[in-house]
Amino acid sequence: MATSVVQVRVDTDLKEQAAKIFEELGIDLSTAIRMFLKRSVLDEGIPFRMTRPRTNYEYGANRGLWAMRELQKHAEENGLSDMTLEEINAEIDAVRRGEA
């Protein structure tokens, strides 16, 4: 099989960071690039997702925000969204005492 040279210009820091990661994985930069190209051929495209997330939930860092919005929605649906901190603590105390 004939081979050819591929030259790519990348930021030096990016190249060094990537090379360090690949070295820790037991491969060199050239092997990693060949793996990417082979997988691209197998997948008939880029071998990873290249779309913007549709919702905040798809961002790992925003899962907490999504969960809080869901909790707020459920609290509003159940008439609990106006409770003060004192009322919430009183409810918790009542449950702990077995009164609720």
pLDDT digits (tens, 9 = 90+) for 33-59: 999 999 999 999 998 887 766 665 555
Amino acid identity, position 15: K
How many residues does this entry show for the chain? 100
Amino acid identity, position 91: E
With a CB cutoff of 8 Å and minimum separation 6, the contacts of 91 are: 83, 100
Q: In the prediction, which pLDDT does 59 show? A: 56
Domain boundaries, given as residue ranges, for the chain: 12-43, 56-96
With a CB cutoff of 8 Å and minimum separation 6, the contacts of 62 are: 56
